[in-house]
Amino acid sequence: MNDYLENLDRALTKIPEIKGSGERFVVPEPKLMTEGKTTVLENFSVIADKLNREPEHLFKFLLRELGTAGKLEGSRAIVHGRFSSSVVSELIDAYIKEYVTCSECGRPDTHLIKVDRILTLRCDACGAHRPVTKRQAASIIKEQPLTEGETYDVMIVTVGSKGDGIAKKDKYTIYVPGVVKGDEVKIKIKKITGNLAFAELIEKKKK
């Protein structure tokens, strides 16, 4: 009798899970923390688990899109550079769109297989499959243009021939007077011309 009740219990608690997986796919928000010049994704393995993908696969994708290096450490992912949670969220969404959800039925119950050497997403729910391409996501970060009058946190990567510090952000080269290489600074954009931006120093951060 006890066994019966236990089994029933188990069966009942399982029902909403199964139902839920097809209806609403909720991926945990990335928990980010900056530590010096690195960004730590605290719940990285939780997210990879939820997506049912190899952490290494998701991590490689993030590194490529962020254009940085990093390492996995236990359940955390650590990347060089400071990134906002909105950027990381967008990239994870792009990953899901590309590598997780079925484009036919929209469900996340899929797996990746190679068909004739082409990485293919196969849906366990409806059987649809499509090749996975490495497109779109690369544009996400670059689509965030700088805005004149806005402030940004950047790192001075070098100093130009006229003595102005140079920072890089996405496609932009930003000139900042009064700084030295390696400074982490808050700047205000004064003028943007094409891919060039001219900024003033708001404050230097302590290292």
User: Applying CB under 5 A, which residues contact Zn ion?
Assistant: 102, 104-105, 123, 125-126, 128
| Smallest gap from residue 120 Cβ to Zn ion (A) | 13
Q: What are phi and psi of 137, to 5 degrees?
A: -50, -35
Distances (CA, A) of 158 to 96, 122, 146, 195: 36, 46, 20, 17
For Zn ion, which is the closer residue by CB, 91 or 123? 123
| Smallest gap from residue 148 Cβ to Zn ion (A) | 45
For Zn ion, which is the closer residue by CB, 78 or 105? 105
- DSSP 8-state class, residue 26: -
How many Å apart are CA 11 and CA 5, to the nearest integer?
10
| Smallest gap from residue 100 Cβ to Zn ion (A) | 11
Q: Closest Cα to residue 166, out of 134, 138, 190, 197?
A: 197
| Smallest gap from residue 125 Cβ to Zn ion (A) | 5
For Zn ion, which is the closer residue by CB, 105 or 166? 105
Strand order through the sheet with 76-80: 32-35, 38-41, 76-80, 70-73
For Zn ion, which is the closer residue by CB, 30 or 108? 108
Residue 52, both tokens:
């049912």
